[in-house]
Amino acid sequence: MILVATWLEKLIGPRVSSELLAKERQKFRRPTIFLSLAAFLLLVSIFFPYWRLKLEAPQYPQGLYVRVYINRVVGDVREIDELNHYIGMRSLQDAAQLERSLSVFAIVVISLLTLGAIYVHNQLAAVLSLPALLFPVIFLGDLYYWLWNYGTNLDPRAPLSSAIKPFVPPLLGVGKIGQFKTIAYWDIGLWLAFLASILIVIGLYYHRKAYKPLVDAMR
Distance separating alpha carbons of residues 54 and 64, to the nearest angstrom? 6
Tens of pLDDT along 30-39?
999 999 999 9
CA distances from 11 to 6, 15, 35, 87, 217 (A): 9, 11, 20, 56, 15
Segment holding 51, helix H or strand E: strand 51-57
Tens of pLDDT along 110-154?
999 999 999 998 899 999 999 999 999 999 999 999 999 998 888
Lowest mean pLDDT among 12-16, 41-45, 164-168: 12-16
Full 3-state SS string of 126-161 = HHHHHHHHHHHHHHHHHHHHHHHHHHHCCCCCCCCH
Q: Which of 63, 56, 44, 156 is nearest to 107 (CA)?
A: 44
Residues in the chain: 219
Tens of pLDDT along 51-103?
999 998 888 888 999 999 999 999 999 998 888 888 888 888 888 899 999 99
Find the DSSP H helices in the chain.
2-12, 18-23, 25-44, 77-87, 97-116, 124-152, 188-218
pTM reported for the whole predicted model: 0.89
